[in-house]
A and B are shown apart, each in its own frame.
Chain A
Amino acid sequence: MSRNQRLGLIAAAVVVLVVAFVLIKPGEEEDPAPPKAKTTQPETQTAEAKPGPPPVPVVDMRDGKPAGGAKTFEFRSGDSARIDVRSNQPAEIHLHGYDIEKSVQPGKTTTVRFKADIDGIFNLEDHDSDQELARVRVNPR
């Protein structure tokens, strides 16, 4: 293969890659859906009919375990995130990565608030037992 043929081939390859880049748009998220909690829980479904803000994700702890299993709550990078935690017994909870620690008292709702500025997947855990309570998933914007 001559030098010119090789250069031509490389040029053709670059063109193919540029076209592929434009067609596939690899830099964009395929799912521009608004932030949502993947699983809705009965507690958050209010009876009001008027459209309001999306329901606040709730973790309901029963004897140190999340009722209905650990759920995944999704946020978008930059969101002001909020998770409500309730428990039938006292607990210390810890959101990894964001490193937020809170005490939960029975009969009261503890609200974990944070600006979702670190993307990735993080565990919300019971600090004493390391039991996973929920998973926080922050997607890039």
Chain B
Amino acid sequence: MTLPIAHGIAQRADLPITLGLFLFGSVVVLVVSFVALAVLWRRPLFEPYPWRPLSGFLGRVLSSRPVEILCGATGVALLVLVIYAGLKGQQTAAANFAPTFVYVIVWVGMVAASILFGDVFRAFNPWRVIGRAVALVARLATRGELPPPLAYPRRLGYWPAATGLVAFTVLELVNSTPDDPSTVAIATLVYSVLTFIGMALYGVDAWTTRGEAFSVYFNLFSRLSIFETREGVLGLRPPLAGLTRIQPGSGLVLVVAAMIGTVSFDGLSETGLWVDIGGALGDLFGSLGLSSETAFEASNAVGLVAMVALVFALYRLGIAGMKILDERRPAGQLADWFAPSLVPIALAYVGAHYLTLLAFQGQAITYLASDPLGEGADLFGTAEVGISYFMGARLIQWLWVALVVGGHVAALALAHDRALVVYRDEQDKVVPSQLWMLAVMILFTISALLLLLSSNA
């Protein structure tokens, strides 16, 4: 059985974890879950949480206007470079700046940066920078008579962001040539146009916080970090706590389900199970008259949507468990309130699945930056730098399991803390209301380990 290595840009695919490591990881998850039930705290740890401004030179520099302008300009320059290199550069995925930059440095690297340093993407977000600059010019040109943007419709919620995330993963995981540089450039152009339309209608800030897929995605991860900006001032908060301050809104559950479901599909597509199911689906679509490439993409689309739907349904099952004890609150409201507690599980999925892509393939950006079009240039003298495979499979696999177990513990802690707030006047419901959710989280976590066991097995 031979499976394609998922990305044309990746030089190396991961080995599966051993059965022993899978079993041990599962035992740890179960033991930790049961111990957690017994030692849980009685007062919310995270709501409200302390925040204090980062004083001193570093805090002032990072919050300063020149740094803001520098980051914004860098973001815009990189956006232009992705589009230019993708369209004009050599059309070989591994030799062009655009695919590695978008799929590895931004899509995966920004997750790591967000966890470590907070909402870094907001500072570099090229669409936000361009939107604000255009708004400033328009205000000056109309002498302040620019009509105000439309009020962002409540019902729209996080739906545009959820749709954008699924669309991006369709490009990455469904499409049969995701690493084609011109495909990356055209997708970037189309997404830029849609983002500017959203900003023009509803205003730059409203669209960035709720509608723009990458802003919402990286912002959710950044809430695990200890850095938070309030009114332009950089400050510190306890880790994880930032997740409790997400504005609930419709579509938030779908955003989180997409975060977990799409990575699950990426993992599933490397297993023998998907070779059988996807093959059968492809044959079915082929018999309906689709070409083999279209049939392959159609079966991927079915798999991707099915995994997102499965994650969504399992999460709603956990919410149904809360509804048994809680007749007052609508299920949809509970679902929005508890959705942020799944973000650490999403991190575990993304982290375990893309760790080596970032650690190894991410190094390719050093030589691609020197030769972004793949034409033999050497702008920074790094064109001949190679990739160092500095971690062995053993270390990588223990890191994966640590990420998965850590994500599980963080998710349990957040769900319990949220239950303490929601049921502050009904203390007897706090722990029992979370039992189904605990079971669902165990299922997500052990599934993550199962995917690591069976990928490329």
Contacts and interface: CB of A to CB of B under 8 A. Distances in A.
Interface stretch (A21-29, A44-52, A102-110): A21-29
A27 B394 contact: yes
B20 A30 contact: yes
Contacts of B130: none
Interface in B1-52: 2, 4-5, 8, 11-15, 18-21, 23-25, 27-28, 31-32, 34-35, 38-39
A72 B387 CA distance: 23
A26 B39 contact: no
Contact of B18 (A6, A30, A122): A30
A97 interface: yes
Contacts of A132: 2, 4
B84 to A, nearest CB: 24
Given A9-B38, A121-B456, A21 B24 contact: yes
B24 A20 contact: yes
A28 B31 CA distance: 22
Contacts of B456: 121
Contacts of B423: none
B122 to A, nearest CB: 35
A26 B400 CA distance: 13
Given A1-B39, A121-B456, 10 more contacts: A13-B35, A17-B31, A20-B31, A26-B20, A26-B25, A30-B19, A69-B2, A119-B392, A120-B14, A132-B2
A117 to B, nearest CB: 8
Closest CB pairs A-B (n = 6): A26-B24, A121-B13, A26-B20, A26-B21, A119-B393, A120-B12
A122 B12 contact: yes
B153 interface: no
A29 B18 contact: yes
Interface of A: 1, 6, 9-10, 13, 16-17, 20-21, 24-30, 69-72, 77, 96-97, 99, 118-123, 130, 132, 135, 137, 139-140
A97 B24 contact: no
11 contacts: A1-B38, A17-B28, A20-B27, A21-B24, A24-B24, A28-B18, A72-B2, A97-B387, A99-B11, A120-B13, A121-B13
Contacts of A9: 35, 38-39
Interface of B: 2, 4-5, 8, 11-15, 18-21, 23-25, 27-28, 31-32, 34-35, 38-39, 356, 386-387, 389, 392-394, 456
A130 B15 contact: no
Given A9-B35, A135-B2, A26 B15 contact: no
Nearest to B394: A140
A122 to B, nearest CB: 6
Contacts of B389: 97, 118, 120
A1 B40 CA distance: 10
A119 B38 CA distance: 41
A69 B4 CA distance: 13
Contacts of A10: 35, 39
A27 B397 CA distance: 10
Nearest to A117: B389
Nearest to B390: A118
Given A16-B31, A17-B31, A120-B393, A97 B18 contact: no
A140 B392 contact: yes
B286 to A, nearest CB: 20
Nearest to B4: A132
B4 A97 contact: no
A1 B356 CA distance: 43
A119 B394 CA distance: 9
Contacts of A96: 11-12
B371 to A, nearest CB: 16
A20 B25 CA distance: 10
B2 A121 contact: no
A99 B386 contact: yes
A21 B20 CA distance: 9
Contacts of B8: 130
B392 A137 contact: no
A139 B386 CA distance: 22
A16 B27 CA distance: 9
A140 B28 CA distance: 24
A119 B19 CA distance: 18
B11 A97 contact: yes
A6 B39 contact: yes
A118 B405 CA distance: 27
Given A9-B38, A70-B2, A140-B393, A121 B12 contact: yes
Contacts of B27: 16-17, 20, 24
Which of B4, B27, B387 has the most A CB atoms < 10 Å from its CB? B27
Contacts of A13: 31-32, 34-35
A85 B20 CA distance: 36
Contacts of B25: 26
